Amino acid sequence: MKKKVDFLIIGSGVAGLSYALKVAPYGKVCMVTKANEDESNTKYAQGGIAAVMVGTDSYEKHIQDTLIAGDGICDEEVVRMVITESTERVKELIEWGAQFDKNEKGEYDLAREGGHSEHRILHHKDNTGFEIERALLEAVHKHPNIEIFDHHFAIDILTQHHLGKEVNSRTPDIECYGAYVLNLKTNKIETILAKVTLMATGGAGHVYSTTTNPTIATGDGVAMVYRAKGKVEGMEFYQFHPTSLYNPNESPSYLISEAVRGHGGILKTIDGKEFMHKYDERKSLAPRDIVARAIDNEMKTRGDDYVYLDCRHIDKNDFIQHFPNIYQKCLSLNIDITKDMIPVVPAAHYMCGGIKVDKTGLSSIKNLYAIGECSSTGLHGANRLASNSLLEAIVYAHQAAHAGIENAKTTNYCESIPDWDAEGTAHPEEMVLLIQSLREVQTIMSNYVGIVRSDLRLQRAFDRLEILYKENEALYLKTTISPKLCELRNLINVAYIIIKHARQRKESVGLHYSINYPKK
Ligand code: FAD
Ligand code: SIN
């Protein structure tokens, strides 16, 4: 059975939800999301959203901070567009119901994070993403044109390939007609035809063993577009957050927001000595790539498992007021931040590259747009500036909605797409095979394609991954589809692209650091 909609949105984080609200007045919107409707990276965002909201700040300062963090390879036109839109788009988020903290004077309580020359981060305590997701979901639920289908897993986008035509990366006009989606409540694969499809599937933190991302972050959107021969770029730039809580048995890793360093938290080695001055004059508030690499270096040269974040000098009530969840989380592990330092380690956090899009969010595939973390717009360059991703998502939701509304007026459904053929497939093999392969992918990526890389490590990662790729493709072709199998397939695809792009880049820049090409 086929469903027909004007707009198909894959993913219900800040990107998908804000886009839905914008296109809904112009047609029928179907949003599919693979877990509970609120489960997303968005929900766990702590620090906040960067925007120019007061006269002491300026667009130019925020633009320069973004360009510096991006280490010379941002698309400056895109940076200028996103930052100058920041005020309007954040106001819109507030109109949709998101609340941000204010000070006693009734002004927004703006925080500071690494790489920012000003206090410009709007936040809601230390759970800003939760608040944004809540407000957007409430607004979406009220709209009669939007239907959300939770526990619906998008498997692949539909293109000419599904009409039996050959499609390769040189095919000039690849078109998207919608997606095959596995309804996890019925276990049936549905065909959803759409005039316009939006990929808003978020990041891929689970390609590494240690990540701050929830389990949904398996790079599905990037892998789907790559398989459909769409363009993907910048995947070598995987951002590691410097300070996730060191608690080896916890997955995903709990984040200790960069705003804590913005509030005065200082990084120290296990013997209580400061070290960031050796690496950058901005010390603990240098951009993330620099801080994560410095921590990695200290841990490796000293043989330590973690470093400390010292907050003991910060006023207790002030800390609790700004970071109530972080305070409680630490306390639950017997870490009293007024007396004890917080053990922290870097963890995979944000995918700076992704599906290549233009300024309207259009991918290299016709009728397919991509926004949010799964996209590569040119804003982040080689390293994302803290709290610029929620901003990028809402600005591109606006851009892509305008373009998509026009696009839908002149696009027809492709009725001849066949339904999914499950003929000849057997029940899934033992789960142990999938779990073991997933661990192997994560170990390969963490050991060889992490914060510090080399030609030899990348070659080794490539060779090892090839075996896993072949094994998993064989499994995929002969067994019935399950989310775990698809996610493993997608993570293997994403790992392959990260390694491929890392091998192509013969320099150290931003988040891609290779010992074979020392930074000048
Ligand atoms: P997500 O919010 O991740 O949403 C993706 C959606 O796609 C989910 O609903 C998921 O279930 C769905 N999905 C994925 N694959 C499929 C599939 N195959 N089929 C159907 N549905 C699918 N950024 C900031 O700017 N400021 C911060 O303070 C900040 N803090 C962060 C803290 C943490 C712990 C983390 C993990 C990230 C943080 N980030 C922050 C990054 C930011 O949260 C994300 O980049 C942003 O929320 C991504 O939004 P999105 O809508 O693109 O993706
Ligand atoms: C944080 O709160 O440190 C996360 C901010 C971000 O990833 O942008």
Give me the DSSP letters along 5-44. Answer: EEEEEE--SHHHHHHHHHHGGGS-EEEE-SSSTT-SSGGG
- Gap from CA of 22 to ligand 2 centroid (Å): 26
Residue 425 has pLDDT above 80, yes or no: no
- Gap from CA of 255 to ligand 2 centroid (Å): 8
Residues within a 6 A CB radius of ligand 1: 10-16, 32-35, 39-42, 44-49, 128-129, 153-154, 200-202, 212-213, 216, 220, 255, 350, 372-373, 387-390, 393
488, 479 Cβ separation under 8 angstroms: no
251, 217 Cβ separation under 8 angstroms: no
- CATH class name, domain 430-480+482-504: mainly alpha
Is the minimum distance from the CB of 386 to ligand 2 under 6 angstroms?
yes
What is the rounded CA–CA span in Å between residue 70 and residue 282?
A: 16
What is the rounded CA–CA span in Å between residue 233 and residue 485?
A: 25
CATH T-level fold of 255-346: Flavocytochrome C3; Chain A, domain 1 (3.90.700)
Nearest atom (ligand 2) to Cα of 349: 7
- Gap from CA of 32 to ligand 1 centroid (Å): 15
Which ligand has the shortest distance to the CA of 261? 2
Confidence tier at 426 by pLDDT (50, 70, 90): low
pLDDT of residue 172: 85
Average pLDDT over residues 16-27: 98
Q: Name which of 25-29, 468-472, 497-501 the model is least confident about.
A: 468-472
Which ligand has the shortest distance to the CA of 347? 1
Q: Name which of 60-69, 368-377, 421-430, 482-491 the model is least confident about.
A: 421-430
Average pLDDT over residues 440-446: 98
CA 450 to chain centre: 17
Nearest atom (ligand 2) to Cα of 126: 2
Residue 476 has pLDDT above 80, yes or no: yes
* Cα 237 to Cα 45, 147, 350, 498, distances in angstroms: 20, 35, 9, 8
- Gap from CA of 203 to ligand 1 centroid (Å): 6
- Gap from CA of 348 to ligand 2 centroid (Å): 12
Residue 162 has pLDDT above 80, yes or no: yes
Average pLDDT over residues 390-418: 98
pLDDT of residue 479: 85
CB burial string 299-323: b at 16+ within 10 A, e below: beeeebebbbbbbeebeeeebbebb
Confidence tier at 424 by pLDDT (50, 70, 90): low
CB count within 10 Å of CB 470 equals: 11
Mutate to test the pocket of ligand 1, among 38, 41, 390 (most ligand atoms within 8 A of CB): 41
Helix (H, G, I), strand (E, B) or coil at 453: strand
Instruction: Report the share of the chain in percent with pLDDT over 90.
Output: 94
Q: What are phi and psi of 99, to 5 degrees?
A: -110, 135
Which ligand has the shortest distance to the CA of 206? 1
Nearest atom (ligand 1) to Cα of 214: 36
Instruction: Report the share of the chain in percent with pLDDT over 70.
Output: 99
pLDDT of residue 236: 98
Q: What is the pLDDT of residues 326-365, one digit of tens each?
A: 999 999 999 999 999 999 999 999 999 999 999 999 999 9
Nearest atom (ligand 1) to Cα of 487: 18
pLDDT of residue 478: 84
Helix (H, G, I), strand (E, B) or coil at 371: coil
- What does DSSP assign to residue 155? E
Which ligand has the shortest distance to the CA of 116? 2
CB count within 10 Å of CB 422 equals: 10
How far apart are the two ends of the chain, measured CA to CA in Å? 59
Is the minimum distance from the CB of 47 to ligand 2 under 6 angstroms?
yes
- Domain extents for the chain? 255-346, 430-480+482-504
Residue with the two structure tokens 């717009």: 377
Nearest atom (ligand 2) to Cα of 388: 8
Residue 520 has pLDDT above 80, yes or no: no
- Is 112 considered catalytic here? no
Residue 503 has pLDDT above 90, yes or no: yes
- Return the residue whose CA atom lies nearest to atom 24 of ligand 1: 387
Confidence tier at 428 by pLDDT (50, 70, 90): low
pLDDT of residue 422: 76
Question: How many Å is the Cα radius of gyration of the chain?
Answer: 22
Length of the chain: 520
Confidence tier at 322 by pLDDT (50, 70, 90): very high
